[in-house]
Chain A
Amino acid sequence: MKKVLVICGTGVATSTMVINKLKEFFAEKQIDVQLYQSKVSDILSTGNDYDVIISTTVVPPSIKTKVVNAVPLLTGIGKEKVFNDILEALK
């Protein structure tokens, strides 16, 4: 199973909103993934252990995992592209 890490600045606020949306999305598409939630400063050393990072904050360049910017899921503008990017990244 693919490991998907959802992060934001606190691991509390925006990542919770994003993770709720992703749960709905993955359930609807019937894609099985393991979702993890964290904050950016906690993953500096572990960030490379995941298949995809979905982030609402800036991810430092030291992280080599594929990163999808999830800010559009919060603003509602350009949501579809984010979902497509996530599917693409999971392939």
Chain B
Amino acid sequence: MDFIQKIVDLGPTVVLPVIIFLFGLVLKMKPGRAFRAGLTVGIGFIGVNLIIGLLVDNLGPAAKDMVERLGIDLSIIDVGWPATSAIAFGSTVGALAIPIGLIVNFILLIVGLTKTLNIDLWNLWHIAFTGALVSIMTDSFAMGIVTASVHAIVLLVLADMSQKHVEKFYGYPNISFPHGTSTPYILFAWPLEKLFNMIPGFKNLKADPESIQKRLGILGESTVLGLILGLIIGILAGWNAKEVLNLGVSTAAVMLLLPRMVSILMEGLAPVSESASEFVKSKFPGREVFIGMDSALAVGHPAAIASSLIMVPIVLLLAIIVPGNKVLPFGDLATIPFIVSMMVPIFRGNVIRTVVASTIALGFGLLLATYISPLFTQAAKNVGFSFPEGTNSISSLVDGAVPTTAIFLFGAKLGYIGLMIIALIALATAYYINKRPNKTNES
């Protein structure tokens, strides 16, 4: 164990490239290619670290001054999913997330409890995320691994359950979304859709996605949004004009640079991910499966974009008025399309319903993101992201505000039994939808 600890202590910028390299060799990649892939991932990681530093150094003091001046306690900075995914993959549990995801998927396919063959290995960061938080919370590596495994099961089952929406609404036949952010929200949208249908008047409300997009489109451009947020927060912090303008450009820069850095990380991961998906596919030749993909395929839908644009100001308002919230929404204001993308088909493209549901979901989501912030900040420190001591806490909406994060954290508080209960419910559901006699394909 001492040896493993020494390796882990090298930090993710060293460990991650080595793991990617070894994993590439296992998948029979050429050593040179695997080596470059690993190194690129390490470089991406350093890039993410730099930009988080830029964000925390600039937005951190502004948020603090705003808190002191106005008494709105929004001291936890939402660093957004790009940073979150890097932190998740860089954690000790996260390093194993890809193998765990593959193994869980293999087993469920073999026993016939899922039809989804997930080739979107990148998004296994979601299971790495819950795994990392739980392992920090319980101080147990094993609990983290079990959490990640159960989370993988849950996402595959949810992907199967929602596949018909992906096919019918978004028009992607034989594709499902085992996506950690988007797909869990179907559990939220289903009962709400039933409820909305019962409310007279509300039932018939509609909004036109195209005109919303025309009016609010600017809020979808992350750099412009970053600039506006920086300026507003600077002004609220009582800073002078020079400081406000500088803050605005810095926050705009973060919005552009952070995803770019993660895209470097992704560039390294892509060849490995491809080799892995070829390997996975070669194990199940000729079998009728749903290909598990990133829900990014769906977020360009006009109804998803329109709902997300309206949600930007709503989330900011929620952050101020929801009692107990301390999260300052920032990075993930650009990720809202992922939160709404699987609710949209359930509400049949109705923007108003999607917005109402997202408002409820994110109202609670902000509290969840506040609650997990100490664990999240610890996870970030563990992977070597630097924070001035005691000054800043961070969190994110994706996946900090996602219902599954709550399910796993509170499940893990009960110990293994809690996680087992979640697994059993997921497997029973899988059995019901896949093995039900007579109605196999209708669910």
Residues of A in contact with B (beta carbons under 8 Å apart): 7-17, 20, 37, 39-42, 44-45, 55-62, 71, 74-77
- Residues in chain A near residue B262, CB distance under 8 A: 12
Q: In the complex, A12→B398 CA distance in Å?
A: 15
Q: In the complex, A40→B308 CA distance in Å?
A: 12
Which of B122, B270, B296 contacts A9 (CB under 8 A)? B296
Q: In the complex, A13→B271 CA distance in Å?
A: 12
Question: Which of B133-141, B195-203, B213-221, B430-438 contacts its partner?
Answer: B213-221
Which of B278, B291, B302, B309 contacts A61 (CB under 8 A)? B302
- Residues in chain B near residue A9, CB distance under 8 A: 294-300, 337-338, 341
- Residues in chain A near residue B220, CB distance under 8 A: 41-42, 44
B64 at the interface (CB under 8 A from A): no
Contact between B172 and A20, CB atoms less than 8 A apart: no
B36 at the interface (CB under 8 A from A): no
Q: In the complex, A39→B295 CA distance in Å?
A: 13
Which of B214, B296, B309 contacts A62 (CB under 8 A)? B214
Interface size on B, residues (CB 8 A): 48
Q: In the complex, A12→B170 CA distance in Å?
A: 21
B280 to A: closest C-beta gap in Å = 11
Which of B222, B263, B298 contacts A42 (CB under 8 A)? B222
Q: In the complex, A9→B300 CA distance in Å?
A: 6
With A12-B263, A16-B266, A75-B291 known to touch, is A59 a contact of B300 (CB < 8 Å)? yes
With A16-B270, A76-B281 known to touch, is A57 a contact of B299 (CB < 8 Å)? yes
Which of A37, A57, A75 contacts B300 (CB under 8 A)? A57
Contact between B266 and A12, CB atoms less than 8 A apart: yes
Contact between A16 and B267, CB atoms less than 8 A apart: yes
Contact between A58 and B263, CB atoms less than 8 A apart: no
- Residues in chain A near residue B68, CB distance under 8 A: none
B82 at the interface (CB under 8 A from A): yes
B373 to A: closest C-beta gap in Å = 24
Contact between B300 and A55, CB atoms less than 8 A apart: yes
Q: In the complex, A42→B337 CA distance in Å?
A: 12
Q: In the complex, A37→B296 CA distance in Å?
A: 14
Contact between B299 and A40, CB atoms less than 8 A apart: yes
Contact between B294 and A13, CB atoms less than 8 A apart: yes
User: Could you name 29 residue pairs across A and B whose Cβ atoms are closer than 8 Å?
Assistant: A8-B296, A9-B298, A10-B296, A10-B299, A12-B82, A13-B294, A13-B296, A17-B266, A17-B274, A20-B270, A37-B263, A39-B222, A41-B220, A41-B222, A41-B299, A41-B300, A41-B305, A42-B223, A44-B213, A44-B221, A44-B305, A55-B300, A57-B299, A58-B297, A58-B298, A58-B302, A60-B305, A62-B214, A75-B175
Contact between A40 and B300, CB atoms less than 8 A apart: yes
Residue of B nearest to A59 (CB): B300
Q: In the complex, A12→B291 CA distance in Å?
A: 20
- Residues in chain B near residue A17, CB distance under 8 A: 266, 270, 273-274
Contact between B298 and A45, CB atoms less than 8 A apart: no
Q: In the complex, A10→B338 CA distance in Å?
A: 9
Q: In the complex, A38→B271 CA distance in Å?
A: 20
Q: In the complex, A12→B294 CA distance in Å?
A: 11
Contact between B300 and A45, CB atoms less than 8 A apart: no
A63 to B: closest C-beta gap in Å = 10
With A56-B296, A57-B300 known to touch, is A13 a contact of B210 (CB < 8 Å)? no
B47 at the interface (CB under 8 A from A): no
With A13-B294, A20-B270, A75-B291 known to touch, is A58 a contact of B300 (CB < 8 Å)? yes
Which of A20, A57, A61, A77 contacts B296 (CB under 8 A)? A57
